[in-house]
Structure 1
Amino acid sequence: MTTAEAYAEFGSREARGVSPTYERLSQAVARDDDLLALLDGVPPAKRQPNLLFGVVRWLGGPVDDPVTFHDFVVTHWPAVEAELLIRATQTNEAGRCAVLLPVLAALPQPLALLEVGASAGLCLYPDRYAYRYGDHQIGSGAPILECAANGLVPPAGVPQVVWRAGLDLNPLDVTDPGDVSWLDALIWPEHAHRRARLRAAAAVAAADPPLLVRGDLVDDLPALAAQAPTDATLVVFHTSVLYQVPLPRRDAFVRLVSELPGHWVANEAPDVLGYDALPEPPDDALYNVLALDGKPLAWARGHGQAMTWFG
Structure 2
Amino acid sequence: MGRENLSAIFANFANRECRGSSYLYEHLALGTAEDGELLDLASHARPGQPVPNLFLGAVHFLLLQGKKHPLARYYPSVVAEPKDPRQAFAHFRDFCFTFKDEIIAILKEKRVQTNEVRRCAYLYPSFCMIHRLTEKPLSLIEIGASAGLQLLWDKYAYSYGDGQIYGEASSSVLINTEIRGENRPFLLPTSPPVATRCGVDLHVSELTDSENVLWMRALIWPEHTDRVQLFEKAAEYFLNESVELIEGDGVALLPEIASKVPEETVICIFHTHVANQLSESDKQKLIHHVTALAESREVFHLYNNLQDRYLHLDRFIDGEWRTVMIAETDGHARWVRWMR
TM-score of the superposed pair, with normalisation by structure 2? 0.82
Q: How far is 1:46 from its partner?
A: 4.4
Q: Which residue of 1 aligns with 2:209?
A: 176
> Is the Cα–Cα contact under 8 Å of residues 91 and 187 in structure 1 kept in the other structure?
no
Q: How far is 1:267 from its partner?
A: 3.1
Of 326, 331, 338, the residue aligned with 1:302 is 331
Does residue 164 (structure 1) correspond to residue 197 (structure 2)? The answer is yes
Does residue 124 (structure 1) correspond to residue 158 (structure 2)? The answer is no
Identity %: 33
1:219 is paired with a residue whose SS is helix
Q: How far is 1:118 from its partner?
A: 0.2
Q: Which residue of 2 aligns with 1:137?
A: 165
Q: How far is 1:44 from its partner?
A: 4.5
Q: How far is 1:47 from its partner?
A: 6.1
Question: Structure 1: any 5+ residue segments left out of the alignment?
Answer: 275-287
Q: How far is 1:305 from its partner?
A: 1.5
Residue 268 of structure 1 aligns with an amino acid whose one-letter code is N
Whole-angstrom CA distance in 1 between matches of 2:110 and 2:291? 29
Q: Which residue of 2 aligns with 1:92?
A: 115
Superposition pairs of residues 213-292 of structure 1, within 5 angstroms: 213-260=246-293, 261-269=297-305, 272-273=306-307, 288-292=309-313
Residue 264 of structure 1 aligns with an amino acid whose one-letter code is F
Q: How far is 1:171 from its partner?
A: 0.7
Whole-angstrom CA distance in 2 between matches of 1:228 and 1:173? 24
Structure having the higher helix fraction is: 2
Q: Which residue of 2 aligns with 1:280?
A: none
Which protein is bigger by CA-based radius of gyration?
2
Superposition pairs of residues 99-114 of structure 1, within 5 angstroms: 99-107=122-130, 108=134, 109-114=136-141
Task: Say which is worse superposed, 136-145 or 149-158, in terms of deviation.
Answer: 149-158
Q: How far is 1:176 from its partner?
A: 2.2
Of 155, 171, 175, the residue aligned with 2:187 is 155
Question: Structure 2: any 5+ residue segments left out of the alignment?
Answer: 75-87, 315-322
> Is the Cα–Cα contact under 8 Å of residues 147 and 304 in structure 1 kept in the other structure?
yes
- The CA deviation string for residues 167-207 of structure 1, in whole angstroms up to 9 with x for no partner, is 10001112222211111110010111111100111122110
> Is the Cα–Cα contact under 8 Å of residues 174 and 202 in structure 1 kept in the other structure?
yes
> Is the Cα–Cα contact under 8 Å of residues 39 and 47 in structure 1 kept in the other structure?
no
Residue 187 of structure 1 aligns with an amino acid whose one-letter code is I
Q: How far is 1:42 from its partner?
A: 4.5
Q: Which residue of 1 aligns with 2:241?
A: 208
Q: How far is 1:126 from its partner?
A: 1.4
Whole-angstrom CA distance in 1 between matches of 2:48 and 2:195? 35
Change over 3 Å in CA distance of 1:38–1:292 after alignment to 2:
same
Aligned-CA RMSD value? 1.7
- The CA deviation string for residues 254-296 of structure 1, in whole angstroms up to 9 with x for no partner, is 1112222333333323xx326xxxxxxxxxxxxx311111321
> Is the Cα–Cα contact under 8 Å of residues 187 and 195 in structure 1 kept in the other structure?
yes
Whole-angstrom CA distance in 2 between matches of 1:231 and 1:189? 45
Of 46, 60, 70, the residue aligned with 2:93 is 70
2:115 is paired with a residue whose SS is coil
Residue 171 of structure 1 aligns with an amino acid whose one-letter code is V
Whole-angstrom CA distance in 2 between matches of 1:304 and 1:267? 14
Q: How far is 1:9 from its partner?
A: 0.7
Whole-angstrom CA distance in 2 between matches of 1:154 and 1:255? 30
TM-score of the superposed pair, with normalisation by structure 1? 0.90
